[in-house]
Amino acid sequence: MSPRLLYRAVSIAEAVTWTALIAAMVARYAAGAEVPFFFAIGLAHGTVFIAFVVTTVVVGLNQRWTWWLIVVAALTAVPPYGTLVMDAVLERRRLLEGCWRTEAGDDPRDRGPIDRLLRWFLRHPWMFAVVLVLVVAVLTTVALVAGPPVG
């Protein structure tokens, strides 16, 4: 899976969980209906939110985005459907093109520790996937312990 396809898949997943969360909140608060799986929807949305941020960092590092673009792209998960807008912007600017950088090139940044670590993980995709799942799980657990974002 290319960086473009990974970013797009997680971006769409974030939008889908936003839709489910908004629908559950409307049912719960506007219509007064109790949504028995409200917690599960919130958990799914929070987990995908964290996965989107992690994916944005990994793809941004691979694509050599500036640090501020990585931060802005990650923050687009905060407003509903912002990830889809950012995906379109990145696509239009051709910032999602290319494959995973598994080998060092002539660029001096390839000698940096972050790029070397990223390349090592990209050459070991199963290990990278396990580490990323663990990172998302730990961050999701921390978020659950911290409590909901409002109230």
Tell whether the model's pLDDT for residue 37 goes beyond 90: no
- What's the burial of 29, exposed, middle or buried (CB within 10 Å: 0-12/13-18/19+)? exposed
**Selected residue with higher pLDDT from 13 and 40:** 13
pLDDT in tens, 133-146: 999 999 999 988 88
Residue 27 DSSP one-character state: I
Q: Which helix (H) or strand (E) holds 135?
A: helix 125-146
- 26-30, 56-60, 100-104: range with highest mean pLDDT: 56-60
Check if the beta carbon of residue 9 is closer than 8 Å to that of residue 2: no
Give the span between the Cα atoms of 6 and 50, in whole angstroms: 14
Residue 106: other Cβ atoms inside 10 A:
5
pLDDT in tens, 76-126: 999 999 999 999 999 999 999 999 999 988 988 889 999 999 999 999 999
Tell whether the model's pLDDT for residue 148 goes beyond 80: no
